[in-house]
Amino acid sequence: MSAPLHSLAPWKARPAPELVPTGVAEVDALSGGLPRGALTEVLGPASSGRTSLVLAILAEAARRQETCALVDAGDAFDPASAAAAGVDLSKLLWVRCAGKAEHALRAADLLVQGGGFGCVVLDLGDVPPRLARRIPLTCWFRLRRAIENTPTVLVLVGQTSCAPSCASLILELKKGRATWSGTPGCSRLLRGALFEVSRRKPVASASAAFQVRAVG
């Protein structure tokens, strides 16, 4: 016999996730920060600022004394640039996958299932979009379920969106203007670049710009 309606437990809304800063003030003002226990997508073509944002996220996590993992599908990570950006390499596990997206997915799954990481970055930025879009949606649902109710920030980096229905936050980046010094047509040095970031999810559309300065 079914329970009387008055005896059923009242429905409770899921509490809002804790948000942590990205390390870029303009992005934090736009997004509110990165949600723990959820998937965030960082999208953009090459030279769009996605790597600079990821390094800022990892550096900020290191300042919180969190251990992070970077699953590098394309072996594109440069430790020297990361250290210059403030990433504590002693608190970073770097998993190289030799260009194999299936290995990267398996590694990310093992890391989030094992727990213990404040931030896990799955970098598919060098994987062709046609291949990234072939990844079954069940893979992203599995990763999302694995980090629910955990303090882990999961960041998926790609050229286009792979898991829009599973992501709580989607940030899209575009290249802006570059700042140079020196004499045009002769010797010039890159001093910085301006990037545009847009929030594609949650639904309310918004955008901002942030600048990255060259080191040295």
| Interval 27-59: pLDDT, tens | 999 999 999 999 999 999 998 999 999 999 999
- What would the pLDDT profile of 187-200 be if each residue is shown by its tens digit? 666 556 778 899 98
Threshold 0.95, pTM exceeds:
no
Output 62 or 214, whichever has higher pLDDT: 62
> Average pLDDT in the 135-153 region?
94
Amino acid 32: pLDDT: 94
Q: How many residues does the chain have?
A: 216
51 in helix, strand or coil? helix
The whole-number pLDDT of residue 120 equals: 98
Measured from the Cβ of residue 199, the count of other Cβ atoms closer than 10 Å reads 19
Q: Is the dihedral of CA 142, 38, 122, 177 positive or negative?
A: positive
Tell me, what's the pLDDT at 210? Answer: 72
Structure tokens at 77: 């990570």
Residues facing residue 207 across a β-bridge: 198
| Domains by residue range for the chain, with CATH | 18-172 (3.40.50.300)
Q: Tell me how far apart the alpha carbons of residues 195 and 210 are, in angstroms, rounded to a whole number.
A: 5
